[in-house]
Amino acid sequence: MERLTRSEQPHIKFGMFKIRIPFIHYRFEKPEAIQGIISSMTSLGTIGLSTQILGLPYEVAWSMAIINSILYCLHVFMGDPVVPGWITASITLTTAYLLKFNIGIERIQALTALQIDLGIIFILMGITGIAGKLVNRIPNSIKGGILMGVGISTVISEFSPKGRFESYPISITVGILVACFVMFSEKFDALKVKNKFLFRLGQYGVVPAILVSLIIGIFSKEIGIPSFNFENIIYIMDFQKLIDTVSPFGIGFPSIILFIQGLPMAFMIYIIAFGDFITGENLVLSESKNRTDEYIDFNSNRSNVISGIRNIAMAVISPYIAMCGPLAATLTGSVAQRYKVGKEAMQSIFSGMGTLVWVSAIFICFYPIAQIATPLIPLALSVTLLVQGYLCTKLSMELCDTGVERGLIGLMGGVIAAKGGTWGLVVGFILYFVLIDSKKRRENDSNSSEDYVYEISDKKKTI
C-alpha cells in the first residue's frame, strides 16, 4: 500500500495504536532481513543468564529467548518505529537482586514479581501521558546528558576488567573499527557513491563488522570454530514444559511481599530504561530530516504501553532477567542510517524496522543459527554495544548549542556512568538551573517539544 506524499505509512487505527501488517502495510527489505538473522544470534545471549542464575535447562532458556523475540514484533506491529531490545544496563542490578533469593522457584517468583511491577509502571506512565510529557519537557541538555551517560556506561562495561574486551581484544578491536568505518565514516560515504560493492556493504549496518570479528576471532584463536549438526533444523519449543518450569501458572504466583520488595528495583530499572525513549526519538527523527516524503509519529506514551505489555506478557509466560526494553539502539540506529538515504533504499521506517524484527523472531528457532551463535555471541554483543556507545555520545553532542551545554552533558554523563541514573538526573538538573540563563531555559521549555516538527499533508492514507 502506497502512502500519500508527506503522510504516515498506511495503518489500521486502534486507539493510540497503529496496526501495521507485513507485506500489506509495508514491504520486505533485504538488508534488514540479513541484520535480522544476525540479531537472532545475539538474542540468544540471555541463555547463559537463564541457565546460570535461574538454574534452568538449556532448552527452556532457549524457549524464553524465542518468546522474547516474538514480543519484539509488537512495537512495529502496534505503531512504534523502533527495534526494541533488552534493558541491558539493568542486567547487573537485576542479577544482584535475584541472588538474594534461593535458586529455584523462589528466585523465579521474585523475578516474576519484579517484571510485573516494571510492566505496570510502564503502562501507567504511558496511559496517564506522564511519559510523553516528561520526554517533551526535558531540556535538550538533560536529554544529551542521559544519552552521554548511556554511551559512557556502555563503553566502560566492555573495557572494564570483567568486560568482554579482556577475553577478545583483537576480534573486538577489529570489529568496532569496521563497524565505525562502515556506519559513520565520511570517507566511506564518499567511496560508496563510486563503488557498488561498498554501497551494498553499507546497507547492512553492523552485520559486516560482526562477521569480520568472527573471522578474526577464529584466526586469532580467541574463539573456536562453530560446529554444525544437521540432525535437527528447527527447534520446536515445548510450550507446556516452559509453563510448568517458569510460568506462575505452573509454579505459582508470587506473594504480595515479593511484589512490594520488587517495587524499588522496578523504579530503578524504569529510570534506566527512560533514557531509551529519548535515545529512540532522537535516533529515528534526527535521521529522518532528509525524508520529507514520510511523517513519523513517535509517541513516547505508546512506546511505554507496548513495553509494559511485553514485560507483563514475559512475566506470566517466562520471566526474563534482561527485561523488555523499548530500544535496541544499535539496530535502530543502523536502520535509521539507511532510511535517510531515500525512499528507493527503504520504503518506510516501518518496512526497515518491521523486516528486521520479524526475521529475527523466525530465525532464532533454527538450530544452525544457535550453533553459530555459541562462539559468536560475546563478540556480537560487544561490537553492538560499542556501536551503541558511539551513537549515544554522537547524538548527545548534536543536541547542544553552546560550550556550557556540552560541559553539562559531559559531567552529567560521567555521573550517570559512575553513580547511576538517579544521581545523574539530580546533578544534571542542578547544573541546568545553575548554568543555563533563565531566558534560555524558557526558550528551551517552549521549543523542546518542537525539535522535529514536519509539515504534513492534511490528507493521510489510512485503512
DSSP labels, 160-203: STTSGGGT-HHHHHHHHHHHHHHHH-HHHHHHHHH-HHHHHHHT
DSSP per-residue string spanning 20-31 = --BTTTB---HH
Q: Evaluate whether residue 1 is within a structural domain.
A: no
The backbone torsions φ and ψ at residue 12, rounded to the nearest 5 degrees and listed phi first, read -105, 120
pLDDT score at 456: 36
Q: Evaluate whether residue 428 is within a structural domain.
A: no
pLDDT score at 452: 40
**Residues 350, 305, 274, 91, CA torsion sign:** negative
Q: Evaluate whether residue 455 is within a structural domain.
A: no
Q: Evaluate whether residue 420 is within a structural domain.
A: no
Q: Which domain holds residue 127?
A: 26-224+236-401
Q: Evaluate whether residue 101 is within a structural domain.
A: yes
pLDDT score at 447: 54
Q: Evaluate whether residue 6 is within a structural domain.
A: no
Residues of the chain with pLDDT under 50: 448-463
pLDDT score at 444: 58
CB distance 259 to 117 below 8 Å = yes
> C-alpha grid cell for residue 422?
538517579
Number of separate domains in the chain = 1
pLDDT score at 354: 95
pLDDT score at 281: 78
- Separation of alpha carbons 268 and 252, rounded Å: 26
- Separation of alpha carbons 218 and 212, rounded Å: 10
> How many other β-carbons are positioned within 10 Å of the β-carbon of residue 212?
19
Q: Evaluate whether residue 412 is within a structural domain.
A: no
Q: Evaluate whether residue 198 is within a structural domain.
A: yes
* Nearest CA among 364, 109, 395, 383 for reference residue 261: 109
